[in-house]
Amino acid sequence: MGQEAESAWNFEDFGKVLKDEPLAKHTTWKIGGPADWLVEPTSVEELVNAMKWIQEENLPWRAIGRGSNLLVDDDGIEGVVLKFGTKLANMENDNGIVTVEAGYPLVRLATILSRDGYGGMEFAGGIPGSVGGAVFMNAGAHGSDMSKVLIEALILFPDGTMEWIPNEEMGFAYRTSRLQSDKGICVAARLKLEQGEKDVIFKEMQEYKEYRRETQPWAHPCAGSVFRNPLPEHAGELIENIGLKGHVIGGAQISELHANFIVNTGEAKASDVLALIEKARSSVKETYGIELETEVEIVNRRSADS
């Protein structure tokens, strides 16, 4: 975008704006080249202003939360990355009807609600990421997911309109929602939880959190499960059974703790992770005839929405 077009806009109306910002600073894998622009709105109004700029200047764009479940190419992302950070993270609980903005950390939400005796979010104990990303991916574990608790989601469309979309119109399926195909951003979610025995609910949530701590390699930068489970099989078991647990390419390693995780051992590049993904995928296909699909979203220089 030219200097003349840039000067026509007051970037202070968008929140925090950074140019050529390395996305390795904004992903849990600690991997990723620069975004042309990274915009972190601190209010819904600033988000709407930023979307107006994006559309009028015809800029490619995409939205991220805490950067989990995301692999950004070493060359970065063209255009604008809208980041939902801690400034867009308000939460209100009205007797189990919880309205929460997209930037709110999912683990914190699960912990607070469970501690207060509201059941339904226990499954999210230990799941990294933000509420917006959890709705986008229909995040889940232990037999439950966001579709089980969501009443409706506030979606910002590229034309600047916002609408509360009810659960039944969100297209939820296993780790999937309509937001993965539609051009829209989850700005907030409204959830319904049931009040129960505090000690029982909080204990269950803590057990789920502890299970993740013991079985998943969060001591190293990673992005959660790399592949969707080809149910009834589990991707981690298939990868482990063909002997790839601990396999290393460059600075990336298939975790020795859980084979459906790839960890950054220090200086991993996106190309290292992609090579491991292809190694695991081709080996499982050759051995079992099963085509693994990635659960992590892979973003290259020109894969932003336009």
Distance of CA 295 to the CA centre of its chain: 10
Catalytic residue among 46, 101, 240, 295: 295
175 included as an active-site residue: yes
H-run or E-run covering 188: strand 185-192
Query: What Rg, from alpha-carbon coordinates, does the chain have?
Result: 20
Round to whole Å and give the CA distance between 81 and 12: 16
Name the nearest CA neighbour of 160 among 251, 45, 6: 45
Catalytic residue among 62, 175, 190, 281: 175
User: How do beta strands 61-64 and 77-83 pair?
Assistant: parallel
Place of tokens 């600033």: 46
228 included as an active-site residue: no
295 included as an active-site residue: yes
Name the nearest CA neighbour of 276 among 261, 256, 288, 287: 261
For helices 198-215 and 106-115, the axis angle rounded to 10 degrees is: 150
Q: 179 near 186, Cβ under 8 Å?
A: yes
CA angle 149, 201, 188 (to 5 degrees): 30
Query: Any idea what DSSP says for residue 9?
Result: S
H-run or E-run covering 206: helix 198-215
Helix (H, G, I), strand (E, B) or coil at 166: strand
Catalytic residue among 225, 240, 255, 281: 225
Backbone torsions φ then ψ of 241, nearest 5 degrees? -65, -25
Active centre residues (catalytic) = 175, 225, 295
